[in-house]
């Protein structure tokens, strides 16, 4: 496996332009998500789902004292590509898999639309596309990664709010950015999803936020439904290996 | 920009914003309208610069700025004038820059009277005909050259892109101590003395402390070691005093020494891919390529008169004959000879305002019978769009060229006026040709971006079906017309039959080669070799070239605009990426980045300097100066053109080589910017008893009613201020965005933005509908109640502002009423740009009436139809 | 046998039990399509350098073409202005130029007509040229009342240019001026 890659979305740099949403759709041929005036500030796509793989949230709130006026928070949300990815764990078909880049991808040539992954995701990211029937979500531009390219959203982002790279590099950079902001008096700056000890064992796409996660529509303490099943899966792995020996022998036998 | 500095273009380039210590974005919503350019603002911010956004609305730009300052739409001159006053009051000007590089020391004649003396008028006001005689605005000892038959036309206007030629603009008397009571510096001081923080608060609704914070931040970040930049867009230009808005910023930047220096400047942010290009090579009625004026029937009867009137004894306009004759030679080739004044009489003459709005009225009157609409959508995009739709319906023939069926093509069956009964399809006699256009990926050519940069785009694929480029369309239209007229002996046909119109063609559709056209624009010498600089042009007919300021873009026979050396492999100026006019300079007037002796003002702000050892100017950019003119050069009395300027006069297009704080000629509405209320305003002017600009251009006719303004009766029917604007997710009148699913879903409906307080006052429900009314139209919009819109206190009372994005119309995936339907035709007299950014309105809860009742609602509101036609 | 064996090696269960991915969540689960995946930019016949057609920032664009069709448009990292980035409009450029709502054929509406009609492009060009010549004749002004040269026609106007190329604006201004048409305007004033 090459080094694990991911996104660091620094929301302090986001100007809410939604280039990420469009660039994602253009590259991945994601259909439009319906023309619905939602009245949620400038957000009219609403949430991440099968037809929206990047979603920019807009939050209007009073400025923090002593400042007056208003703050307008913007944040581009995306699939977290969890270390402990419940969607992947529960997928019975092997459609969801972890790529050589450490990302979590739905393989549309395998997905049968069973939908087990949908309730498993603690972020509500993965969803079914009708009438297609299969589930869809951010692939972190798996094909682009294979070609050595940057994912479309990060490539387009005008202000480098969406940063792409090796996860360890991004985590280091994010920590520095938080210290820098704290030094500037932006004490509300905090990271979300960067902690390997959290309920998803650290996200591959993490964020620098200026308020509590729930303000942005993010679960404050996401837990993969399969988080505590890891020991069980280790057992399964051992059993699988034993089964494999017999199976391999069968194949060898058939080859002749 | 042209009148203040000499050229009608941004003084700097976007990447250079990263070097700014303070950036004031005003009259622009840069993060939303120019997001990718905005990365350089974010870069500056990351380097510690202060970012200030002054705007009626808290936008996505305000969200990431260090400071957002809400002000009443239409009050920017009071705000900026307040900054001028703050600078002068506290002695914060960069005096070592101001004295040699601006006209601060120039002494104005005794008869000049300021608006402070005459309660809102400058001297020279001709009340009977409603115009200024500029005689008294001149410098002491300067003669005014004015055509006695046509006094109104003495000023040539900002759109020409260069200042007045009056005696070269040079003042015979100067006072470098700046103490002379009639020197520009002292006049400026008096003119703005009442623009105090208290007055700013009164006019703009900006608390005085907040205003002082802006002024102080700007001053602290200007000088030898630091520079500040201004970014503006149509939030400044689209006013009845739009040119004067930009002039006020120019005054600030000259006083603070921020022009011609890295991190400084004024960046005009333009909204179409080549709007700068379409001004440089103008599809505009009053200019020829390179900002040379169109010939005027009264002033330019002969070539000699034209050159005399528009040339200048000093500065680079001293070579006008070379630029102009080269253009005539490019167009009429061998037919243009010195014996026939190079076909000067084949240039059609203008005789007044022939701008787009006047033309629409001429269409209504049946004078203009045929119309081409190419990549523009006046049925949605023009002020008082209903009037334009009616104008289109009164044509004999109309050609629309676009990607899709836009509203300007479909008006005859789906205009809102069809529903109200004002128009009937069967009554509309307009013959409409809708021709599909090729996209930029389907043709070669150059766009000129907002920083004067010509960038070549290569054709990627062939267009399909009947899709063709405009290059194809106009070339073949010209070819067919010439074939049909061939053999004609009618003198009027000679100008078309003798036109040089032979371009090589290629491909399955016989597309003319764009590079051949660009080569003609660049120009050729007598041997047919491409010119490398406009300084090689001659006035004797031996050279030809279609646009002198673009000369050099094809130097050496190489398409310089197609250069694409990666930015990663160059320094930050990136001089080998494409080609900028003039002469590939990225910051213009960059001589001013060095002190009068030619040395950088500071190491930190080093850019272009005099190299004594080499005997020439050098630096990071192409010096915007005569390359080997020493800093201590003093012109001999008989010197001409640029050689008549001193070695320490950086503004080489101006006749005096100086940046103009004060404009003695070239503008119709005054030598100094003055606050006037918008044409339609619920407020009176606290500074003068003259409320709106006396020179604003109005059109007196029933088809163009106006809202009454304070203090006139009926003004209270329109108690709110509205402003129109764009969103990131859409493009102008929607032809390139409302038809796309990916953009339409992001902003699917027309909406209005109002404060919670206004929503309470008028019973507007978030997510519901509101009807917005002016004396022209009633339109409906979804309601977005937001605290980003703040009620302001102006003249002791609360004013609510209504925000209206203007992208919508009847066609496409995302449809809605057009905000521009609400606007009046009231224009800046210098450039004929409409006031679209500040007007008055009423707002009511619920959807608008349908059919005839919609028109009746509008008619139930008061209106004035008087006004002065110009 | 080769085919059979190849399939066998790509069969997930076999890879799970023989490879490093014993949980079957990673490489063992990779489908053939996933394994063979390449970005479509890699299979382009050519990459054409272009400039975004929306606003005047002037972002660089790379246009990827395969079999004469545009397969992707994205930011050009070489551009010193945009550094490979694009806004939502710029990012939608492929949809702009390839979307099905684009007009392909000439549409014609006759005076007082109630429907669009078809018209061949050649015929349309000829008709437009005829209209220009006729209106020009009809509204021609040789000289004013004082005998001064006008050499113009006041019956033909034009609007647009800011979205077009410099070369196109140049031919427009040149042709219109030679025709004597002066009411030539663009978005700079709108």
Q: Are residues A219 and A234 in the same domain?
A: no
Give A183-237 as a DSSP string: HTT-TT-EEES--TTSTTSS-SEEEEESS-GGGGT--SS---TTGGGHHHHHHHH
Q: Do A16 and B814 touch (CB under 8 A)?
A: no
Could you tell me if C58 and B451 are in contact, meaning their C-beta atoms sit under 8 angstroms apart?
yes
Whether the pLDDT of residue C25 is over 90: the answer is no
**Residue A217 belongs to domain spanning:** 5-225
| Residue C164 forms part of a structural domain | yes
Residues from A contacting B (CB-CB < 8 Å) are 12-13, 15-19, 21-22, 25-26, 31-37, 39, 41-42, 44-45, 60, 62, 69-74, 158-160
Q: Read off the CATH number of the domain in which B209 is found.
A: 3.40.228.10
**CA nearest to B739 within chain C:** C101
Contact of B780 with chain A, judged by CB distance below 8 Å, is answered with no
- CB < 8 Å from C in window 565-594 of B: 565-568, 570, 572, 574, 577
Q: Are residues C48 and C6 in the same domain?
A: no
Whether the pLDDT of residue A254 is over 80: the answer is no
| Residue C27 forms part of a structural domain | yes
Q: Read off the CATH number of the domain in which B728 is found.
A: 2.40.40.20
Q: Are residues A154 and A96 in the same domain?
A: yes
Tens of pLDDT, residues B86-99: 999 999 999 999 99
* Chain A closest-CA separation from residue B567 CA (Å): 16
Q: Are residues C176 and C148 in the same domain?
A: yes
* Chain A closest-CA separation from residue C94 CA (Å): 7
Could you tell me if C142 and B421 are in contact, meaning their C-beta atoms sit under 8 angstroms apart?
no
Contact of C71 with chain A, judged by CB distance below 8 Å, is answered with no
For C136, list phi and psi in degrees, rounded to 5: -60, -45
Q: Read off the CATH number of the domain in which C88 is found.
A: 2.20.25.90
Q: Which pLDDT score, from 0 to 100, does residue B700 have?
A: 81
Contact of B61 with chain A, judged by CB distance below 8 Å, is answered with yes
Q: Are residues C45 and C88 in the same domain?
A: yes
Across the interface, of B35, B68, B751, the residue whose CB is closest to A17 is B35
**CA nearest to C12 within chain A:** A94
**CA nearest to A86 within chain C:** C25
Cα separation, B837 vs B587, in Å, equals: 29
Nearest to A88 by CA among A198, A221, A192, A225: A225
| Residue C121 forms part of a structural domain | no
- CB < 8 Å from C in window 12-71 of A: 17-19, 21-23, 26-27
Give B499-537 as a DSSP string: S-----EETTTTEEPHHHHHHHHH-B-TTSPBPS-GGG-
What's the structural domain count of chain B? 2
Contact of B290 with chain C, judged by CB distance below 8 Å, is answered with no
| Residue B633 forms part of a structural domain | no
Please identify, among B253, B268, B283, the residue that sits at the C-terminal boundary of a domain.
Answer: B268
Q: Are residues C29 and C46 in the same domain?
A: no
Nearest to A32 by CA among A18, A17, A52: A52
What's the structural domain count of chain A? 2
How many residues would you count in chain B?
Answer: 870
Nearest to C22 by CA among C33, C32, C13: C13
Q: Read off the CATH number of the domain in which A155 is found.
A: 3.30.70.20
| Residue C120 forms part of a structural domain | no
Cα separation, A249 vs B356, in Å, equals: 84
- CB < 8 Å from B in window 113-172 of C: 113-114, 116, 119, 121, 124-133, 135, 138-140, 142, 144, 148-172
Q: Which pLDDT score, from 0 to 100, does residue C12 have?
A: 56
Cα separation, B801 vs B820, in Å, equals: 16
**Residue C87 belongs to domain spanning:** 40-98
Cα separation, B474 vs B482, in Å, equals: 12
- CB < 8 Å from B in window 14-43 of C: none
Cα separation, B341 vs B304, in Å, equals: 9
The pLDDT averaged over each successive group of 10 residues in chain B (870 residues) is 91 98 98 98 98 98 97 97 98 98 97 97 96 94 56 40 53 96 98 98 97 98 98 95 97 98 97 96 97 94 94 94 98 98 98 96 98 97 97 98 98 97 97 98 98 98 98 98 98 98 97 98 98 98 98 98 98 98 98 98 98 98 98 96 96 95 94 98 97 94 94 97 97 97 98 98 98 98 97 96 98 98 96 95 98 96 63
Please identify, among B268, B298, B320, the residue that sits at the C-terminal boundary of a domain.
Answer: B268
Q: Are residues C28 and C46 in the same domain?
A: no
| Residue B32 forms part of a structural domain | yes
| Residue B51 forms part of a structural domain | yes
Q: Are residues A135 and A232 in the same domain?
A: no
- CB < 8 Å from C in window 391-410 of B: 396-397, 399, 401-405, 409
**ipTM of the complex, rounded to two decimals:** 0.96
| Residue B538 forms part of a structural domain | no
Strand partners of residue A49: A52
For residue B356, with 0-12 CB atoms within 10 Å meaning exposed, 13-18 middle and 19 or more buried, which class applies?
A: buried
Please identify, among C98, C113, C130, the residue that sits at the C-terminal boundary of a domain.
Answer: C98
Q: Are residues A162 and A181 in the same domain?
A: yes
Q: Are residues A44 and A68 in the same domain?
A: yes
Q: Name the DSSP letter for residue C50.
A: E
Please identify, among B268, B283, B306, the residue that sits at the C-terminal boundary of a domain.
Answer: B268
What's the structural domain count of chain C? 3
Q: Do B784 and A39 touch (CB under 8 A)?
A: yes
Q: Are residues A29 and A132 in the same domain?
A: yes
CB pairs < 8 Å spanning A and C: 130
- The CB-side HSE value for B348 (13 A sphere, CA atoms) comes to 29
Cα separation, B589 vs B622, in Å, equals: 10
| Residue C80 forms part of a structural domain | yes
Per-residue confidence at C18, pLDDT binned at 50, 70, 90? Answer: low
Whether the pLDDT of residue A69 is over 90: the answer is no
Q: Are residues C88 and C52 in the same domain?
A: yes
Q: Are residues A142 and A205 in the same domain?
A: yes
- CB < 8 Å from B in window 62-81 of C: 63, 65, 68-70, 73, 77-81
Q: Do B350 and C89 touch (CB under 8 A)?
A: no
| Residue B417 forms part of a structural domain | no
* Chain B closest-CA separation from residue A152 CA (Å): 15
Q: Are residues C171 and C145 in the same domain?
A: yes
| Residue B500 forms part of a structural domain | no
Cα separation, C69 vs C63, in Å, equals: 10
H/E run at residue B203: helix B197-204
Which residues are CB-neighbours of B63 under 8 A, at least 6 positions away? A15, A16, A71, A72, A73, A74, B31
Q: Are residues A195 and A119 in the same domain?
A: yes
**CA nearest to C95 within chain A:** A26
Strand partners of residue C74: C62
Give B254-266 as a DSSP string: HHTT-SSSTT-SE
| Residue C54 forms part of a structural domain | yes
Kind of pairing between the strands at B608-611 and B505-506: unpaired
Across the interface, of B729, B745, B767, the residue whose CB is closest to A34 is B745
Give B-chain residues touching C116 at CB under 8 angstroms: 434
Could you tell me if A155 and C60 are in contact, meaning their C-beta atoms sit under 8 angstroms apart?
no
A185's tokens: 């008096």
| Residue B17 forms part of a structural domain | yes
**Residue B198 belongs to domain spanning:** 2-268
Whether the pLDDT of residue C14 is over 90: the answer is no
Q: Are residues A195 and A237 in the same domain?
A: no
Q: Which pLDDT score, from 0 to 100, does residue B154 have?
A: 40
Q: Are residues A138 and A243 in the same domain?
A: no
């Amino acid at each position: 496996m090459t080094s694990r890659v991911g996104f660091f979305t620094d929301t302090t740099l986001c100007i809410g332009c939604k280039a990420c949403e469009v660039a994602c759709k253009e590259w991945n041929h994601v259909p439009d998500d319906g023309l619905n005036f939602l009245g949620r500030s400038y957000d009219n796509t609403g949430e991440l789902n099968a037809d929206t793989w990047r979603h920019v949230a807009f939050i209007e709130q009073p400025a923090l004292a002593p400042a007056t006026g208003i703050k307008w928070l913007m944040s581009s949300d995306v699939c977290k590509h969890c270390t402990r990815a419940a969607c992947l764990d529960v997928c019975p078909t092997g459609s969801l898999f972890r790529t050589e880049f450490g990302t979590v991808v739905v393989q549309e040539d395998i997905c049968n639309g069973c939908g087990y992954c949908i309730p498993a995701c603690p972020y509500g990211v993965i969803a079914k596309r009708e009438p297609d029937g299969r589930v869809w979500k951010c692939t972190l531009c798996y094909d682009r990664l294979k070609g050595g390219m940057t994912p479309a959203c990060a490539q387009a982002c005008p202000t480098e709010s969406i940063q792409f790279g090796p996860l360890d590099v991004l985590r280091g950079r994010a920590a520095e950015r938080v210290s820098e902001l704290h030094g500037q008096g932006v004490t509300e700056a905090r990271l979300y999803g960067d902690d390997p000890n959290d309920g998803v064992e650290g996200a591959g796409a993490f964020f620098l936020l200026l308020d509590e996660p729930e303000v942005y529509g993010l679960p404050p303490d996401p837990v993969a439904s399969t988080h505590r099943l890891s020991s069980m899966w280790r057992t399964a792995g051992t059993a699988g290996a034993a089964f494999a020996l017999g199976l391999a022998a069968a194949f060898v036998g058939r080859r002749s | 920009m042209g009148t203040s500095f000499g050229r009608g273009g941004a003084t700097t380039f976007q990447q250079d914003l990263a070097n700014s210590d303070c950036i004031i974005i005003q009259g622009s919503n840069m993060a939303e309208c120019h997001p990718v350019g905005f990365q350089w603002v974010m870069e500056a911010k990351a380097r510690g610069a202060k970012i200030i956004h002054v705007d009626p609305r808290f936008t996505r730009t305000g969200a990431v700025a260090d400071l957002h300052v809400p002000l009443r739409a239409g009050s920017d001159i009071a705000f900026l004038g307040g900054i001028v006053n703050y600078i002068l009051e506290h002695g914060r000007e960069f005096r070592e820059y101001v004295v040699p590089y601006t006209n601060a020391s120039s002494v104005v004649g005794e008869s000049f009277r300021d608006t402070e003396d005459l309660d809102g008028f400058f001297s020279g006001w001709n009340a009977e005909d409603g115009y200024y005689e500029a005689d008294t605005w001149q410098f002491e000892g300067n003669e005014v050259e004015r055509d006695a038959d046509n006094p109104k036309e003495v000023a040539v206007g900002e759109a020409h892109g260069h200042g007045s030629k009056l005696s070269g603009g040079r003042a015979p008397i100067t006072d470098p101590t700046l103490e002379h009571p009639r020197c520009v510096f002292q006049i400026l001081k008096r003119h703005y003395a009442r623009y105090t923080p208290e007055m700013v608060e009164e006019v703009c609704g900006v608390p005085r402390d907040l205003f002082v914070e802006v002024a102080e931040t700007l001053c602290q970040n200007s000088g030898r070691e630091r520079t500040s930049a201004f970014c503006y867009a149509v939030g400044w230009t689209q006013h009845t005093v739009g040119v004067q808005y930009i002039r006020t910023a120019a005054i600030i930047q000259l006083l603070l020494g921020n022009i011609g220096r890295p991190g400084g400047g004024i960046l005009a942010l333009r909204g179409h891919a080549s709007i700068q290009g379409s001004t440089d090579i103008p599809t505009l009625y009053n200019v020829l390529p390179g900002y040379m004026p169109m010939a005027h029937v009264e002033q330019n009867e002969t070539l000699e008169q034209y050159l005399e009137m528009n040339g200048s004894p000093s500065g680079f306009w001293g070579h006008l004959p070379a630029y102009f004759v080269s253009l005539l030679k490019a167009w009429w080739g061998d037919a243009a000879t010195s014996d026939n004044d190079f076909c000067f009489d084949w240039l059609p003459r203008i005789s007044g305002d022939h701008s787009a709005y006047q033309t629409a009225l001429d269409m209504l009157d049946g004078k203009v019978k045929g119309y081409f609409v190419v990549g523009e959508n006046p049925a949605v995009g023009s002020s008082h769009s209903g009037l334009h739709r009616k104008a289109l319906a009164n044509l004999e023939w109309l050609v629309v060229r676009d990607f899709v069926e836009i509203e300007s093509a479909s008006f005859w069956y789906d205009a809102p006026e069809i529903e109200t009964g004002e128009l009937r399809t069967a009554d509309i006699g307009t013959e409409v040709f809708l021709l599909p256009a090729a996209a930029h990926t389907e043709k070669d050519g150059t766009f000129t971006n907002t920083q004067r940069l010509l960038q070549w785009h290569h054709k990627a694929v062939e267009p399909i079906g009947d899709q063709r480029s405009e290059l194809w369309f106009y070339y073949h239209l010209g070819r067919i017309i010439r074939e049909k007229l061939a053999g004609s002996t009618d003198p009027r046909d000679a100008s078309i039959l003798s036109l040089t119109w032979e371009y090589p063609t290629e491909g399955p559709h016989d597309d003319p080669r764009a590079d051949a056209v660009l080569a003609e624009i660049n120009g050729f010498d007598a041997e047919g070799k491409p010119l490398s600089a406009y300084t090689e042009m001659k006035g004797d007919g031996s050279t030809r070239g279609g646009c002198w300021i673009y000369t050099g873009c094809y130097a050496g026979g190489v398409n310089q605009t197609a250069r694409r050396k990666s930015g990663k492999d160059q320094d930050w100026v990136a001089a080998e990426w494409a080609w900028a006019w003039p002469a590939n300079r990225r910051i213009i007037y960059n001589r001013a980045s060095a002190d009068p002796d030619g040395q950088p003002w500071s190491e930190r702000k080093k850019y272009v300097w005099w190299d004594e050892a080499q005997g020439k100017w050098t630096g990071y950019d192409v010096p915007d100066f005569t390359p080997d003119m020493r800093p201590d050069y003093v012109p001999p009395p008989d010197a001409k053109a640029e050689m008549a300027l001193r070695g320490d006069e950086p503004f080489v297009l101006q006749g005096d080589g100086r940046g103009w704080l004060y404009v003695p000629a070239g503008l119709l509405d005054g030598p100094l910017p003055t606050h006037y209320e918008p044409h339609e305003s619920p407020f009176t002017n606290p500074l003068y008893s003259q409320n709106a600009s006396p020179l604003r251009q109005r059109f007196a006719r029933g088809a163009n009613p106006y809202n009454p303004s304070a203090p006139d009766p009926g003004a209270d029917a329109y108690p709110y201020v509205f402003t129109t604007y764009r969103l990131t997710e859409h493009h102008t009148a929607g032809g390139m965005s409302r038809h796309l699913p990916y953009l339409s879903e992001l902003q699917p409906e027309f909406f209005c933005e109002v404060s919670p307080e206004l929503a309470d006052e008028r019973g507007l429900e978030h997510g519901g509908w509101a009807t917005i009314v002016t004396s022209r139209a009633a339109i409906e919009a979804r309601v977005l109640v937001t605290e980003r819109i703040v009620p302001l206190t102006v003249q002791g009372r609360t004013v609510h502002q209504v925000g209206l994005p203007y992208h919508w119309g009847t066609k496409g995936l995302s449809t809605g009423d057009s905000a521009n339907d609400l606007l009046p035709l009231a224009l800046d007299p210098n450039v004929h740009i409409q006031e679209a950014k500040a007007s008055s309105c009423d707002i009511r809860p619920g959807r608008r009436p349908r059919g005839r009742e919609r028109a009746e609602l509008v008619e139930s509101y008061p209106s004035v139809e008087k006004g002065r036609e110009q | 046998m080769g085919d059979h064996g190849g399939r066998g090696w790509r069969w997930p269960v076999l890879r799970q039990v023989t490879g490093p991915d014993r949980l079957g969540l990673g490489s063992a689960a990779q489908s053939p399509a996933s394994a063979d995946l390449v970005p479509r930019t890699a299979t382009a016949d050519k990459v054409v350098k272009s400039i975004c057609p929306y606003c005047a920032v002037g972002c660089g664009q790379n246009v990827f073409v395969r079999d004469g069709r545009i397969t992707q448009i994205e930011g050009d990292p070489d551009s010193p202005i945009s550094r490979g980035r694009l806004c939502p409009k710029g990012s939608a450029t492929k949809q702009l130029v390839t979307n099905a709502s684009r007009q392909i054929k000439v549409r014609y509406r006759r005076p007082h007509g109630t429907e669009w009609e078809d018209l061949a492009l050649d015929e349309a060009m000829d008709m437009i040229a005829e209209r220009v010549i006729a209106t020009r004749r009809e509204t021609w002004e040789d000289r004013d009342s004082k005998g001064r040269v006008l050499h113009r026609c006041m019956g033909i106007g034009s609007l647009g240019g800011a979205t077009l190329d410099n070369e196109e604006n140049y031919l427009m201004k040149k042709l219109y001026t030679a025709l004597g048409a002066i009411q030539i305007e663009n978005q700079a004033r709108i």
